[in-house]
């Protein structure tokens, strides 16, 4: 227990360095050599603190995406277990269909959207006639959206059509200036280009508001951002986002701006309900390294602006789950657990019967072959 008390007291060692710096500045009689020794001691204690955290199993989460990885794969079970989510089960999906009087989206039926927080409360609100709105965002870092970017927008369109509610779409161009070292002018330009792709998804223009942070922050939005930041400590920023005193100070401000239109866990402190969430699995990269499709890895992604020839070339080069040669592929069929083209069909083929036909024709030979072996 004493060790845990020590960890709680010194969980943010960056504060120790800050106090040390102030102490050295104000204490004019403090010799430089002693200051250096003191700083060295602080560094030593910092390392021992991390050792204690490891020993006691106390986890720090500087990067949520990395904590969800296991052997290069995204650990979706860990997301459910450690981030307060629940599995989207058949009972909830059936209720969604019953309440909205429309079939569940194909990505729900196939488990691509697989977890949620408080979706049941949204359905309660819908049945009562209570007001709420949808929110999603895009950080513009590429000229166009790739297929992975499209998934949340296509699903959000389904939700808007089903619930007939307002939708807020935030373009976080300011974040790309801070995190991607792009110029302000470039991030604003990319936001406009990305907005064109988003609009093309077909949202209800009478119920949709799209804005960029650089173009809109101010007024009531800024008031909400300040309220969020006023109820969030530096320790929470460090623990959630891994931000330290060595980072640009803008990184401490951005989370409040991103949270303002959606409200995070701080919402109850402001007199609002916490937002409900729904999570999807990633569309895999074309090269099939168990990672997501990424704009920062061009060959891993197919963009909405790609020509038909480019898309054909990329898909033909995609990782497959077949044999090492065309002959083996034709002889054995495909291993659908690893075959990237088939995984894409699971996302984009609308009719279940069509997908099942492809599955049987394309993958059954592989299954039969290895059952015989």
* Series of mean pLDDT values for 10-residue runs along the chain (373 residues): 35 35 34 46 49 41 46 74 87 97 96 94 96 93 92 96 96 88 93 96 96 87 81 80 81 75 72 87 82 70 91 85 63 76 91 90 55 40
At 238 the pLDDT is 80
User: Both 92 and 43 in a single domain?
Assistant: no
Q: Is residue 301 part of a domain?
A: no
Residues 153 and 195 occupy one common structural domain:
yes
Q: Which domain holds residue 334?
A: 320-372
Q: Is residue 297 part of a domain?
A: no
Answer yes or no: is 8 within a domain. yes
Residues 329 and 220 in one domain: no
pLDDT value for 195 = 96
- End-to-end CA gap in the chain: 56
Q: Give the CATH number for residue 367.
A: 1.10.240.10
Task: Supply the pTM of this predicted model.
Answer: 0.72
Whether 235 and 179 share a structural domain: yes
């Amino acid at each position: 227990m004493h060790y845990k008390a020590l960890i709680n007291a010194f969980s943010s060692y960056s504060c120790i360095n800050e106090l040390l710096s102030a102490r050295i500045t104000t204490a004019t009689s403090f010799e430089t050599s002693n200051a250096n020794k003191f700083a060295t001691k602080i560094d030593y204690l910092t390392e021992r603190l991390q050792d204690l955290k490891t020993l006691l199993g106390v986890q720090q989460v500087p990067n949520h995406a990395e904590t969800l990885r296991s052997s290069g794969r995204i650990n979706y079970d860990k997301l459910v277990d450690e981030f307060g989510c629940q599995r989207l089960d058949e009972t909830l999906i059936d209720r969604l269909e019953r309440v909205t009087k429309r079939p569940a989206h194909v990505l729900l039926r196939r488990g691509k959207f697989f977890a949620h927080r408080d979706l049941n409360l949204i359905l309660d609100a819908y049945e009562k006639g209570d007001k709420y709105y949808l929110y999603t965002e895009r950080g513009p870092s590429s000229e166009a959206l790739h297929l992975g970017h499209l998934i949340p927008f296509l699903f959000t369109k389904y939700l808007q059509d089903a619930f007939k509610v307002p939708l807020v779409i935030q373009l976080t161009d300011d974040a790309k200036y801070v995190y991607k070292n792009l110029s302000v002018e470039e991030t604003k330009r990319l936001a406009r280009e990305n907005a064109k792709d988003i609009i093309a998804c077909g949202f209800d223009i009478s119920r949709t508001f799209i804005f960029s942070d650089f173009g809109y922050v101010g007024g009531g939005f800024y008031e909400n951002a300040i309220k969020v930041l006023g109820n969030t400590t530096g320790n929470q920023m460090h623990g959630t986002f891994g931000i330290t005193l060595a980072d640009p100070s803008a990184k401490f401000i951005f989370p409040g701006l991103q949270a303002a239109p959606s409200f995070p866990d701080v919402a109850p402190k402001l007199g609002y309900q916490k937002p409900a969430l729904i999570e999807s699995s990633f569309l895999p990269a074309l090269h099939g390294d168990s990672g997501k499709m990424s704009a920062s890895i061009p060959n891993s992604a197919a963009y909405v602006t790609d020509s038909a020839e480019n898309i054909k070339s990329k898909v033909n080069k995609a990782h497959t789950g077949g044999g090492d040669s065309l002959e083996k592929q034709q002889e054995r069929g495909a291993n659908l657990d690893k075959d990237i083209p088939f995984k894409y069909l699971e996302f984009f083929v609308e009719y279940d019967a069509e997908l099942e036909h492809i599955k049987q024709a394309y993958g059954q030979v592989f299954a039969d072959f290895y059952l015989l072996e």
